[in-house]
Amino acid sequence: MIGTLISILFALVIAGVIWWAVQQLLALVPLAEPFSTLVRIFMVLVLVLIVLWVIAALLGMVGIPVHVLSVR
């Protein structure tokens, strides 16, 4: 269980570093205001989905079932 918590922490740190790097690179690209906002929103959505998927996979490895998008 401790290993899973450490893995989740590492996943969040890696996602934070990736987020910071992408923000730094986007500052170099000249985009008009509506497009830069749309790109930023899309990046947040993708990053959140990836982090949630990684956390669900790590919890599943420990034995805690996480049913993502299950329809019954």
Of 63, 70, 18, the C-alpha closest to 44 is 18
Per-residue pLDDT of the chain (72 residues; tens, 9 = 90+): 777 778 878 888 888 898 889 888 888 888 888 888 888 889 889 888 888 888 888 888 888 877 765 544
Q: How far apart are CA 48 and CA 63, in angstroms?
A: 23
Is the pTM for the entire model greater than 0.95?
no
Of 6, 2, 8, 16, the C-alpha closest to 66 is 8
